């Protein structure tokens, strides 16, 4: 099996089946800066450099350096490897993919009247975050079971079996299928009626379950940006971009547990649970920036990104197949789809997401900013980016929501705030220019979004690239080495200790940019 | 890996073929470093304006030259209504009336009376709007109740800590808050036992989360079948 991951952009993707929405906060905010091959080669640092279409999505004031016109397309390819360590078992998967970096049209005009040296407009499209990913890991567990999450959720719901098992259930994707297939049921223990998972029988007997988890995510976050900038006498440049983000994510999660004992009378043999949801949405954001040039060589930039307010619609379904054993050892097979409990069709939920606002402080040293190309020798540029991953918010925006949705999102926002923290991200790189040929190196580091120190996560990108510019044509080619670490809880139980897998993504990405100047 | 080479080959082909494109300037502008003012030929623009607006008749002639549809601009008085179907050639062109005007062809898309298919009384199955939830309490309670053997500080269980696939009693002795025997009656401080205690006052219909109100019971299959 191979696995996808972004180009440049090795998004390490969370893989959690129980608590997806909490992890959604990270999914929609913890990803590297995308850019053209030239900008990715210098680590993605673009907060003060300008003169590249990537400025549309980083610091739109950088568009103000344009006085010519560019048409740019930026294909990207990735071939990364995901590995997971889960309870002593190591799993590794590869997957390749193609995506698109900033592509579009920029036009600069100047000098003009009214004391403004030049103005520039850009319309560009990019994949902000590539969420294509596939992760799978396996392990043995003699302590807890995925099925116990269904038992726990049912116990906390306060609902009776009949209230859960109906054609318009309030917990149709998890508890209803588990009850229907007898993966969980009520059992009298010491005179008390308790809710138990069938898997607990063999755990109590000291046996282990073989656990297999996989999660496939397809799609990403895209953005159409319309940017404009004003260059005031090459000293102060101001810019803004109206961004129209688009979210399109398909996620399929599978959990399989199998009895590893030789017993045929412990009541459980195996189950396979699949959860699928599709999120489609659109929204808006705003990016504002300023670049100050105190002298010819120096550029200082500041950019502020508003949260992206994205309005989504989610289609959700699940299925469960359970193989049980009767006391006599006979096999009992049960299967059901969640559509049975959602009026015969997948359930739908509308909600809004806002990811964190972001601030980028940047500086560049450019040698030299003169018309004679042969005397342009290179530049060094660096960005410091601040954002609070705990600032992601969820909420409703339609009247047709579940009765408990508003309170749930309110609680969820508090958990997100407590679970994630703010972080500083760094990007630095430089270019050496030899008339028509350019060489580049870059580095980027994205810090840990988790507040819990025991959860280690980071993204490191090392990049190197070549560029060619002559006769109205330019081409850039960049190789990016990705090293990403993250954690994943396959399920979380409130009344048990929880275990998680450690994820690691390594591998390379190739980014290319081809453009024409006219 | 072969696919990677294909990507590179494709990219290299595009690069080298594009390099052959001609450009008049010997020194190509690099906007990252310096971008000179763009030359705009205002004289030509003005000349074009002169031609464009000089003579309305000439303008119409130019339009008719470019597109035959403008050649009959003066005969479109009945474009929207009565006498539909007649013009210089005897018939206006309409893809919807084509055939009916001439009487020669059958047009399956043409129906003279509007057809409305909306039925306000039709039953629409309400959608289930249950949201994708997680047990948020899991995130707020401390997950670490055992000590790291090295630092003696609380730590979350990691896969490395649980490195033991033989499923011996090692894990459970270290990790379990209580022995497995007492696990079924384990009671955490927040009373998270899995007792079956449905709220008797909860009406059956309130469990539905749809925008509609109808729901029917679903019976479980009999055990042992």
Domain that holds residue B54: 43-75
Residue B103: per-residue pLDDT? 46
Please check the confidence at residue A20 and state whether its pLDDT lies above 70: no
Check if B175 contacts A (Cβ < 8 Å): yes
Interface mutation vs chain A, best among B14, B131, B146, B183, most A CBs within 10 Å: B131
- pLDDT score recorded for residue A489: 86
Q: Does A265 touch chain B (CB under 8 A)?
A: no
Q: Do A193 and B195 touch (CB under 8 A)?
A: yes
What proportion of chain A, given as a percentage, has pLDDT over 70?
A: 95
Q: Please indicate, yes or no, if residue B67 is contained in any of the structural domains.
A: yes
Spatial separation of the C-alpha atoms in residues B49 and A346, rounded to whole Å = 59
The CA distance from A28 to the nearest CA of chain B, in Å, is 16
Whether A464 has its CB under 8 Å from any CB of chain B: the answer is no
pLDDT of residue B108: 59
In chain B, which residue's Cα lies nearest the Cα of A169? B208
Query: Of B32, B60, B75, which one is at a domain's C-terminal end?
Result: B75
**Is residue B124 one of the residues assigned to a domain?**
no
Token code pair at residue B30 = 């690099």
Whether residues B128 and A168 touch (CB distance < 8 A) is answered with yes
Q: Please tell me the number of Cα atoms within 13 Å of A506 on its side-chain side.
A: 4
pLDDT, tens digit, 9 for 90 and up, residues A59-93: 999 999 998 899 999 999 988 888 888 877 788 87
pLDDT top residue among A487 and B60: A487
pLDDT at position A366: 93
* pLDDT of amino acid A71: 95
Quick check: A168 and B18 CB within 8 A? Answer: no
Question: Which candidate in B127, B129, B181 is best for mutational testing of the A interface (most A CBs within 10 A)?
Answer: B129
- Please say whether the beta carbons of A460 and A427 come within 8 A: no
Query: Distance between CA A77 and CA B79 in Å, rounded?
Result: 54
- B146 bridge partner residues: B155
Residues A383-435: tens digit of each pLDDT: 999 999 999 999 988 877 777 788 889 989 998 998 999 999 999 999 999 98
Rounded CA gap, A465 and A460, in Å?
17
Domain contains B171: yes
Region for B7 from its dihedrals, namely left if φ exceeds 0, alpha if ψ lies in -120 to 50, beta otherwise: alpha
CB–CB of A67 and B38 under 8 A? yes
A139-197 residue pLDDT tens: 888 888 999 999 999 998 889 999 999 998 989 999 999 999 999 999 887 788 889 99
Q: In the listed set B28, B56, B75, which residue is the last one of a domain according to the structure?
A: B75
Contact A81, A135 (CB under 8 A): no
pTM over 0.80: no
Cβ atoms A337, A331 nearer than 8 A: no
Residue A4, pLDDT above cutoff 90: no
A436 and B210 within 8 Å at the Cβ level: the answer is: no
pLDDT of the residue at B178: 32
B65 within a domain of the structure (yes/no): yes
CB proximity under 8 Å: A 432-451 to B:
433, 436
Q: How far away is chain A from the Cα of B157, in angstroms, using its nearest Cα?
A: 6
Q: For an interface test with A, give the residue of B35, B166, B175, B213 to mutate (most A CBs within 10 A).
A: B35
Q: Is the dihedral of CA A31, A32, A33, A36 positive or negative?
A: negative
Among A240, A278, A275, which Cα is nearest to A119's? A240
Exposed / middle / buried, residue A70 (Cβ in 10 Å: 0-12, 13-18, 19+):
buried
**Domain A20-517 -> CATH class:** mainly beta
The total of other beta-carbon atoms located within 10 Å of residue A260's CB is 15
Residue B51 DSSP SS3: helix
Q: What are the phi and psi torsion angles at A250 (to 5°)? A: -115, 125
DSSP letters for A462-518:
EEEEEEEEETTEEEEEEEEEEEEEEEE-S---SSS----EEEEEEEEEEEEEEEEE-
* Residue pointed to by tokens 């299967």: A335
All residues of chain A having their beta carbon less than 8 Å from the beta carbon of residue B210 are 168, 343
CA distances from B193 to A237, A374, B187, B200, B210 (A): 62, 75, 6, 19, 29
All residue ranges of chain B with pLDDT < 50 are: 15-16, 18-25, 42-51, 77-91, 98-103, 142-192, 201-213
Instruction: Give, to the nearest 10 degrees, the angle between helix B56-66 and helix B42-54.
Output: 100
Domain assignment of residue B170, yes or no: yes
Most confident option among A110-114, A206-210, A399-403, B120-124:
A206-210
CB contact under 8 A, B127 and A471: no
Give the pLDDT confidence score for residue B42 in this predicted structure: 44
ipTM above 0.95, yes or no: no
Establish if B124 touches chain A: CB-CB under 8 angstroms.
no
The tens digit of pLDDT for each residue in B69-111 reads 666 655 554 444 444 444 444 445 555 554 444 445 555 565 5
Residue B9, pLDDT score? 60
Contact in structure between A515 and A502 (CB atoms under 8 Å): no
In a domain, B161, yes or no: yes
Q: Could you give the number of structural domains in chain B?
A: 2
- Proportion of chain A above pLDDT 90, given as a percent: 63
Residue B208 lies in a domain: no
In angstroms, what separates the C-alpha of A446 from chain B's closest C-alpha? Answer: 22
Average pLDDT of chain A, as a whole number: 89
Residue B176 lies in a domain: yes
Q: Do A167 and B177 touch (CB under 8 A)?
A: no
Alpha-carbon gap, residue A158 to A288, rounded angstroms: 49
Write down the residue that tokens 């205002």 correspond to: B42
Q: Where are the domains of chain A?
A: 20-517
């Amino acid at each position: 099996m191979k696995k996808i991951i972004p180009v440049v952009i090795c998004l390490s993707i969370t893989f959690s089946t129980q608590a997806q929405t909490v992890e959604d906060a990270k999914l929609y905010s913890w990803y590297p800066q995308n850019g053209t091959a030239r900008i990715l080669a210098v680590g993605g640092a673009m907060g003060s450099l300008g003169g590249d279409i990537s400025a549309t999505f980083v610091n739109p004031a950088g568009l103000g350096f344009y006085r010519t016109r560019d048409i740019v397309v930026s294909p990207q390819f990735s071939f990364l490897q995901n590995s997971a360590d889960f309870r002593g078992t190591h799993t590794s998967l590869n997957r390749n993919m193609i995506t698109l970096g900033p592509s579009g049209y920029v036009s600069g005009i100047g000098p003009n009247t009214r004391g403004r040296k030049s103005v520039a407009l850009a319309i560009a499209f990019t994949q902000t975050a590539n969420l294509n990913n596939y992760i799978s890991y396996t392990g043995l567990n003699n302590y807890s079971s995925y099925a116990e999450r269904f038992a726990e959720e049912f116990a906390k719901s306060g609902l009776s079996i009949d209230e859960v098992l109906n054609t318009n259930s309030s917990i149709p994707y998890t508890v209803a299928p588990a009850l229907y297939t007898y993966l969980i049921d009520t059992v009298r223990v010491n005179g008390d009626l308790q809710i138990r998972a069938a898997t607990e029988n063999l755990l109590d007997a000291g046996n282990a379950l073989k656990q297999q988890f996989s999660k496939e995510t397809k799609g990403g976050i895209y953005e159409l940006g319309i940017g404009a900038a004003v260059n005031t006498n090459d000293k102060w440049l101001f810019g803004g971009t109206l961004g129209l983000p688009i979210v399109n994510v398909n996620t399929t999660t599978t959990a399989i547990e199998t009895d590893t004992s030789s017993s045929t009378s412990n009541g459980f043999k195996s189950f396979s649970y699949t959860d699928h949801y599709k999120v489609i949405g659109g929204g808006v954001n705003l990016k504002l920036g300023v670049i100050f040039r105190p002298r010819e060589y120096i550029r200082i930039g500041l950019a502020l990104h508003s949260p992206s307010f994205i309005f989504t619609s989610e289609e959700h379904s699940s299925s469960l197949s359970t193989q049980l054993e009767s006391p006599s050892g006979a096999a009992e097979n049960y299967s059901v789809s969640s559509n049975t409990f959602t009026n015969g069709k997948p359930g739908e939920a509308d909600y809004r997401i806002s990811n964190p606002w972001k601030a980028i402080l940047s500086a560049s040293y450019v040698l030299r900013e003169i018309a004679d190309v042969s005397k342009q020798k290179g530049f060094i540029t660096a960005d410091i980016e601040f954002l609070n991953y705990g600032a992601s918010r969820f909420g409703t925006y339609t009247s047709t929501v579940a009765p408990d949705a508003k309170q749930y999102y309110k609680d969820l926002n508090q958990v997100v705030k407590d679970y994630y923290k703010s972080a500083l991200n760094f990007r630095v790189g430089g270019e050496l220019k030899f008339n028509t040929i350019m060489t580049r190196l870059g580095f980027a580091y994205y810090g840990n979004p988790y507040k819990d120190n025991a959860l280690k996560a980071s993204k490191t990108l090392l990049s190197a690239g070549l560029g060619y510019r002559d006769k109205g044509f330019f081409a850039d080619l960049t190789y990016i080495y990705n090293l990403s670490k993250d954690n994943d809880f396959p399920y979380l139980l409130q009344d048990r200790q929880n275990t998680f897998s450690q994820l690691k993504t390594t591998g390379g990405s190739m980014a290319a940019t081809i453009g024409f100047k006219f | 890996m072969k696919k990677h080479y294909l990507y590179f080959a494709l990219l290299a082909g595009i690069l080298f073929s594009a390099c052959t494109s001609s450009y008049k300037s010997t020194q190509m502008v690099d906007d990252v470093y310096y971008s000179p003012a763009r030359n705009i030929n205002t004289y030509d623009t003005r000349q074009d304006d002169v031609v464009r607006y000089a003579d309305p008749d000439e303008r119409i002639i130019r339009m008719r030259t470019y597109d035959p549809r403008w050649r009959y601009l003066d005969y479109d008085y009945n474009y929207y209504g009565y006498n539909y179907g007649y013009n210089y050639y005897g018939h206006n062109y309409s893809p919807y009336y084509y055939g009916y005007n001439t009487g020669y062809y059958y047009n399956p898309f043409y129906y003279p009376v509007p057809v409305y298919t909306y039925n306000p009384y039709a039953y629409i199955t309400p959608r289930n709007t249950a949201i994708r939830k997680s047990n948020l309490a899991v995130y707020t309670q401390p997950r670490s109740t055992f000590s790291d053997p090295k630092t003696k500080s609380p730590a979350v269980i990691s896969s490395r800590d649980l490195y033991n696939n033989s499923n011996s009693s090692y894990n459970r002795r270290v990790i379990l808050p209580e022995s497995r025997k007492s696990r079924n009656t384990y009671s955490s401080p927040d009373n998270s036992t899995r007792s079956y205690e449905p709220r008797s006052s909860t009406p059956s219909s309130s469990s539905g989360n749809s925008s509609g109100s109808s729901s029917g019971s679903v019976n479980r299959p009999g055990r042992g079948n």
